[in-house]
Chains A and B, each alone.
Chain A
Amino acid sequence: MTAAMGRPDVPLPEAVDVAVVGGGVMGLALAYHLALLSGTGTKGKPGALSIAVLERSYLVSGASGRNGGGVRMQWGDAGNVRLMMESIELCKDLAQQLGINLWFRQGGYLFLARSEAGERRLQRNAELHAEVGAPTRLLTPAEAQAIVPQLDVAEVRLATFNPEDGVVFPWAFVWGYAARAVERGVLLRTHTAVERIEPTDPGFVLRLSTGEVLRARRVVNATGAWSGQLNRPLGIDLPNRPHRHEILSSEPLKPFLDPLVVDLSTGLYFSQSTRGELVTGISLPDAPDGSDEALTLHSSLRFLTHLSRTLVRLMPITAAMKVLRQWVGPYDVSPDGDAIVGPSPGHPDLIQICGFTGHGFMMAPAAARLVARWLFDGTDHPMLARWSPGRFAGGAIARREDMIIG
Chain B
Amino acid sequence: MPERTFVCRCEDVTVAEVDRTIAAGLADIEEIKRYTGLGTGPCQGKECLSALARHLVARGVIAPERLRPFTARPPVEPVTFGALAAGPPEEPVP
Contacts and interface: CB of A to CB of B under 8 A. Distances in A.
Contact of A323 (B23, B75, B91): B75
A58 interface: yes
A311 B90 CA distance: 15
Contacts, number: 115
- Secondary structure of the A contact surface, majority rule: mixed
Contacts of A1: 20, 23-24
A58 B87 contact: no
Interface string A317-354: 01111111111000000000000000000000000000
A305 B88 contact: yes
B34 A322 contact: no
B85 interface: yes
B58 to A, nearest CB: 21
Nearest to B24: A1
Interface in A250-286: 250-252, 265-266, 275, 284-285
B60 interface: no
Interface stretch (A6-14, A128-136, A210-218, A360-368): A6-14
A336 to B, nearest CB: 25
Nearest to B31: A58
Given A305-B89, A308-B84, 16 more contacts: A5-B31, A59-B34, A60-B34, A266-B94, A284-B91, A299-B73, A305-B85, A309-B85, A312-B81, A318-B81, A321-B80, A322-B81, A323-B81, A324-B41, A324-B42, A325-B40
Contacts of B42: 251, 324
A302 B81 CA distance: 13
Interface of A: 1-9, 58-61, 65, 171, 175, 190, 250-252, 265-266, 275, 284-285, 299, 301-302, 304-313, 318-327
Interface of B: 20-21, 23-28, 30-31, 34-35, 37, 40-42, 44, 71, 73-75, 78-82, 84-85, 87-91, 93-94
Contact of B24 (A5, A251, A284, A307): A5
A327 B34 contact: no
- Secondary structure of the B contact surface, majority rule: loop
A1 B21 CA distance: 9
22 contacts: A5-B31, A5-B35, A6-B25, A58-B26, A58-B28, A58-B31, A59-B31, A59-B34, A171-B34, A171-B37, A250-B81, A251-B42, A305-B88, A307-B84, A308-B82, A309-B85, A312-B81, A312-B82, A313-B93, A319-B80, A323-B84, A327-B71
A265 B42 CA distance: 32
Contact of A305 (B25, B34, B73, B84): B84
Contacts of A299: 73-74
B25 A321 contact: no
Contacts of A309: 85, 89, 93
